[in-house]
Structure 1
Amino acid sequence: MPTSQNSETSNNDDTTKDFIDNYIKDINTYLGDFLKSSQPTYDPNDNSIKDSLPTNTTTTTTSSEKEHETQGATTKSSSVSLSELLKSPTVNPDIFSNRPFKDENNNNESSLSSSSPPSLSSDDKKQSLAQKLKISEISTDYFNQKKEIWNGALINCSELHIKLQECMSFGGIFDKASLCIKARRKFWECMEDQKKFLQDSGYASPGKSLAENDEILYEADLYNISKLAKEEQS
């Protein structure tokens, strides 16, 4: 029983395959005949196709060429005109040959040379350097003198300065509240009087010797003592 079924199945498959093969052959034959009968042929000697083409292409190409030529001509002319504009104008030098301001630059140079300060000679330079050194020495002497006068006044007013420090350190409530105003006033009055006395007497000036400065400082101290004595008596 199974053997008969297998044989029937194989027979059916062979029949289907034959049908498909025959169908494909028929289609190929039909397509081949159709292409042979319908495929166009090209004859290079046939001018009918060329004559049937429109002539607009030639006119279009010629018009485009003309447009390119005109554009090139316009750009060339515009570039030339631009270069001409950028050129510096030419001037005839003979026009300005008889003008009165022809030598104005030379006159300006001569005026500038006359107004410029003359160069200093070696002697003038030495003199200028000596003046600068002298001014520097004077300024140095001035500040040194002020410093020495301050120190001299502080020496002669040292007693009042000690009293002011004692008041600030060990004074009463009133003295600390008033910042020792009385002792402070006496000390600074002494300093101002001593500085004025020493300044007027030429203390620590460049021309004074050490002995002369000591003598002036001693006289200033005597002046301070006498002034304080008069204040106590009053």
Structure 2
Amino acid sequence: MKKLALIALTLCALLPGAARGQDKAADAAAQQNARGAALIKEGKFEEAAAELRKAAEAAPKSAVIQSNLAYVYDRQGRIEEAVAAYRKALELDPKNATVRNNLANLYSKQGLYDDATRELEDLVQRDPANATAKANLENALKSKAVTQQRNDQAASAVQGADAKPNDPQAAYNAARVYARLGDADQALTWLNKALDLGYDQFDYLSLDPSLVSLKKDPRFLKLLEERRPAR
């Protein structure tokens, strides 16, 4: 997936005839935005965010500043704040392709593929020649399909185990599915349940290729040690 793009760090032009006080506020915002840009380049995201918040207060109608603030929040892992800032930027500038693409990529990173595809489809509709948006839309749709397939597999495994609540093999099958999907927490939960129900192929646990993703998990190693039947 394309890397999030940092949009041009410049302040939107002021409307002609602005009052003197507005000029001063805009100048202050421009300076704070510029300092924020410099701090971003230095990797000082906390300080950059502080400068950009000041800039946003001084120029609340600047989509550029909101976008840059969103970018910094994303780099800090403050995802909800990043989404809110990108959405505000789009309210101010609905045609900004970079902002919409960045927001969509942020949704994809969260696994919110419906939201991502909605934004990207809107962007492609607005700009059919946007190759980046088309590529990201294709990736989002593929990821959405894979996620749905994984969810279906997990649901089927759980349904099978629920249909046979006293069957250790059914619980073990659910553990294997979750392990293949990379969900160690659920895999270990179902594995313990299988053992509680009397699953007796203990030696196979360390050999089962479906459980390979668990082999370096300390919890799995502890399970093998603590629940090994006495000989």
For the criterion TM > 0.5, the same-fold answer is no
TM-score (norm 2): 0.23
TM-score (norm 1): 0.23
Greater relative contact order: 1 or 2 (C-alpha under 8 angstroms, separation 6 or more)? 1
Which structure has the bigger radius of gyration?
Answer: 1
Q: Which has the higher helix share?
A: 1
